[in-house]
Chains A and B, each alone.
Chain A
Amino acid sequence: MTRAVLALARRALRNVLRRPQFVAPLVVFPSLMLAANVGGLSRTTSLPGFPTDVHGFLDFQLAAAITQSLLLGGVSAGIAVALEIEGGFFDRLLAAPIPRIAIVLGRLAATSVIAVAQVAYFLALGLIFGAQIRAGIPGALLVAAIGALAGTGFGALGVMLALRARSASTVQGIFPLVFVVLFVSSAFFPRQLLQSPARQIARYNPLSYLADGMRDPIIHTVRATPVLDGFAAAAGIAAVAIALSVLALRGRLGDT
């Protein structure tokens, strides 16, 4: 089982490295949006209600860019699986003498490795352009851990969609939905400054807790509550999404 998972994870990572044009959008678009947000709205740190102890708007926005990138990573994982289904490779995997669940877990293992790389990229980008990670290296590791867990969850959602839809273009079609869910969270701006109804929805949106959990070690020293909330949100998303993707796999096996 473990060997099969590792082999499939290695294969998925090799595919990413061979076709970087597929993975580049995961960091390029969030980076550009980060640049536009920071360049256009830096003065909003002076608004009443904005946390007063934040070093800069870039520091605040890093968690939003990471969350956005991880969500796109989930879409990308879904597209990869859908392309394997369309191309017939997935059926060959099903016929192989390996546990079927290893097919899903292998993909998710690769997604979590990519998620760590995404987090590292944005933290490095932030540091280059003057952001500070207040909690230092332990804080960066916490951000990476929450990010890896969340990335795995988003990847599982993508895989579940691919197994249900079996079409890369359908999975691609959920791209705008990613933004909808992200916009109604406190990922980009403090919750108390959001407009209604986004403010009310953000309270119940797990992405708010996820982004706040990754943001806290960047803008403060580590505080237990937001970080634990972030871990809980990431773990909840991952648990539910993995369960759904396993159910989708069973549904697919039933069909074939």
Chain B
Amino acid sequence: MKARARVVGALTRRALNEILRVPGAALPGVLAPTIFMLGISSVFGAAIQLHGFGTTSFRAFVVPVGFLQSASFAGAATGVNLARDIEHGWFDRLLLCPTPRVVLLGAVVSSASLRALLPSSFLLAVALALGVPFPGLLGILLAAVLVMGLAMAVACYAVLIALHFRTQQAAPLMQVGGFVAVLFTTSYAPAQLLTGWLRTVSRINPVTHILTGVRQGFVAHVTWAATWPALVSLAGMLIVLGGLAARALLRTGA
């Protein structure tokens, strides 16, 4: 068990080292969610005049979307890095080591959860500086848990794609999954203001519950009624996507 924890720690450190060694490559992923939040709130801020947002600040309403985008980008980046390792042959050597493959998967996706905290922290700092109300300690902790969990779920999806296509050229496919999952929710407006098709999609999209869970602290108070659906949705995504990724990894080279 201790040895496995060491493997997870070592692979996570390796993934995070990349941010320090090639900061230029990580910069767009760090800045993008904040740029998106600032842009969307500047452009569509007048939408708050429509009733039903539950807050008087459109910026506070869209900050949580930026958090989930951080998770999405971090998860996709993990898949792209894995595809690069596959192309360079490093991953084949990793598979030869005497460590269960599920542990290897755990190490790869856990790095995504930590990676997501960097753009999220930057986004939070900018949002608070611009007057978005502090969501409280509980709201922050819950947001962190949900963002890290979603990053792991998206990383599982990206790993699945990387193992299937075995090339970095599949990067757009990895990015588009998280992009759609986050945007096709109540990202821009509450459910009652959405167009019919998007309202239906957002109702069946599990990320909508996660977004509601992250958002509650920013627009009102943290309640159990909004928290448990978020946690259940996240657990469901992790089980399904993690299971598929583990299955793909176990079949690799078989």
Contacts and interface: CB of A to CB of B under 8 A. Distances in A.
Given A28-B176, A44-B50, A176-B28, A39 B195 contact: yes
B42 A195 contact: yes
Given A28-B176, A43-B189, A169-B25, A180 B198 contact: no
Contacts of B47: 41, 43-44, 47
B216 to A, nearest CB: 19
A255 B198 CA distance: 54
B169 to A, nearest CB: 5
A175 B28 contact: yes
B180 A32 contact: yes
Contacts of B40: 183
A205 B106 CA distance: 47
B137 interface: no
Interface string B149-190: 000000000000000000001101000100110011011110
Interface string A33-65: 101111111111011110000000000000000
A32 B41 CA distance: 19
A193 B50 CA distance: 13
B8 to A, nearest CB: 28
Which of B41, B43, B179, B201 has the most chain A CB within a 10 Å cutoff? B43
B188 to A, nearest CB: 3
B44 A21 contact: no
Contacts of A209: none
Contacts of A172: 28
Interface of A: 19, 21-22, 24-25, 28-29, 32-33, 35-44, 46-49, 169-170, 172-173, 175-176, 179-180, 182-184, 188-189, 193-195, 197-198
30 contacts: A22-B169, A24-B172, A32-B176, A35-B198, A37-B188, A39-B194, A39-B197, A39-B198, A40-B188, A40-B193, A41-B44, A41-B47, A41-B188, A42-B195, A43-B47, A44-B50, A46-B50, A47-B47, A172-B28, A176-B28, A179-B35, A183-B35, A183-B40, A184-B39, A189-B44, A189-B46, A194-B43, A194-B45, A194-B46, A195-B45
